[in-house]
Amino acid sequence: MEKKTENNMEQKMENMEKKTKNNMEQKTENMEQKTGNNMENKMPEKETGSQNMPSGNHPVLHSGRQPAVHSGGHPGHPGGHPGHPVSNTDDSGVRPPRILAWETTAACNLACKHCRGSSTIHSAKGELTTAEAKKLLEDIRETGTPIIILSGGEPLMRPDIFEIARYGTDLGFRMTLATNGTMITREIAEKIRDAGIQRVSISLDGRERTHDTFRCIPGCFADSMRGIDHLKKAGVEFQINTTVSRFNVDELEDVHAFTKEVGAVAHHFFFLVPTGRGAELTEFEITPEEYETALEWLYGIHKKTDLQIRPTCAPHYFRILRQKAKEEGIEVTPKTHGLDAMTKGCLGGISFGFISSVGDVNPCGYLPVSAGNVRETPFKEIWENAQVFNDLRNYSKYLGKCGACGYKTVCGGCRARAYHETGNYMEEEPLCSYVPPKFKRPADKS
């Protein structure tokens, strides 16, 4: 049976390999020289395949603790799970969370170059216990029933992960799992299903050589593919998350085709935010112009595919979507563009939140501004009252181009990029090339 699976995967890989571009070896060589890793001795002989960039770890939080890593692709945001329209406010005037990404552990079995939290094989000191994890889920339940993304690090390295997942399922949450896929065996896939986990996200960022190079572990692409096969046999729904950088931007079409071929229900694209180890890869950040081009390409494939397509850490897509729709004379509605089109670009602190393995709460995994810690303050109180959340919910406080932009309520810019570029999360998004019609820099005013 195992041989049959391997043969099927080899055939799939051969189909993908036919599309390999001959500049891949040079890109890999350049990257290896710049990162100082001697990948020559580690790389498998295969030239093709896809590289999986896990939604990496999170930077040091305001409390001074080292946060847990958020593996597998940062759903809807970190984790890459389905987006939802921004919900109605409750009696307090605050929208309840719709998606919460929870780094259940900082430990990870891979060593990805872009890892936001510089994750290692070891857990973070002081991670939430099983009892604390269950209490956290109970506290979150006080705010409603958001999608819970069990992330990491690598969440499958946490021994009680299925106990936690089952507990969340029984509380009425939609439990999802963000993993790199390499640890999924037949038994693990069945445990995922039996714990009530409704969707698994697995990162895939390019061909096999690209994937293995970025993760620094030869063979991890093949391991992830075997994991996907086990999920399919267990009847578990899965999606593919792809992190976009200059290193793989010319492979996006191949990855998307492969995503459909392997039977994923969704393809989420995460645009690299340079944090953690990813901050060392500045030469692989795409330019604002490349960013705009990639988002326009996404708009095009969104119209042609039956997969759920969602750009993450790319709020400008929602501006482009409306600009293109206007050019085409089409009104943006759930019927014409899907339910995801009705949400806001950056949901951090508005309907999306992040919880680290030691209990720190942040707007998202890439924005290292702590809103509080669940060991000290109930989650509901943090969600409703934290200053950083209140700031992000007030569009009138946005600065620079973002503050003057007519699309700020549907885009909002990436607050994490603004923070890492300027130190102020309310500043303008540095990767946006769009200039609002009447916007002028202070120096330009007469």
Q: Per DSSP, what are the bridge partners of residue 101? A: 149, 354
What is the CB-side half-sphere exposure of residue 12 using CA atoms within 13 A?
Answer: 25
pLDDT > 70 in the chain, percent: 72
**CB of 279 within 8 A of CB of 58?**
no
Average pLDDT over residues 203-232: 88
pLDDT at 249: 87
Q: Provide the pLDDT confidence category of residue 338 given band limits of 50, 70 and 90.
A: low
Beta pairing, strands 352-355 & 360-362 = antiparallel
Q: Is the pLDDT of residue 275 over 80?
A: no
| Low-confidence winner among 327-341, 352-366, 416-430 (lowest mean pLDDT) | 327-341
**CB of 192 within 8 A of CB of 236?**
yes
Q: Is the pLDDT of residue 101 over 90?
A: yes
**Token pair belonging to 176:** 């999802």
Residue 259: which of 290, 224, 233 has the closest Cα?
224
pLDDT at 30: 43
**CB of 179 within 8 A of CB of 154?**
yes
Q: pLDDT tens digits for 6-38?
A: 454 445 444 444 443 333 344 434 433 433 333
Q: Provide the pLDDT confidence category of residue 117 given band limits of 50, 70 and 90.
A: low
Q: pLDDT tens digits for 322-334?
A: 888 888 888 877 6
The count of other CB atoms within 10 Å of the CB of residue 38 is: 9
Q: Is the pLDDT of residue 113 over 70?
A: no
Q: Is the pLDDT of residue 88 over 50?
A: no
Average pLDDT over residues 429-441: 87
pLDDT at 45: 31
Q: Is the pLDDT of residue 114 over 50?
A: yes
Domains plus CATH for the chain? 2-400 (3.20.20.70)
Global pTM reads 0.79
Q: Give me the sign of the Cα torsion angle 433, 326, 312, 415.
A: positive
Q: What is the DSSP string of 7-62?
A: HHHHHHHHHHHTT--TTHHHHHHHHHHHHT--GGGTS-S----B------B-PPPT
Q: Is the pLDDT of residue 68 over 50?
A: no
For residue 394, the SS3 value is coil
pLDDT at 58: 28
* 64 class by beta-carbon count within 10 Å (0-12 exposed, 13-18 middle, 19+ buried): exposed
Q: pLDDT tens digits for 279-292?
A: 666 777 888 899 89
**343 Cβ neighbours under 8 A, 6+ residues apart:** 83, 84, 85, 86, 318, 351
Using CA atoms, how far apart are residues 390 and 202, in angstroms rounded to an integer? 32
Q: pLDDT tens digits for 141-161?
A: 999 999 999 998 899 999 999
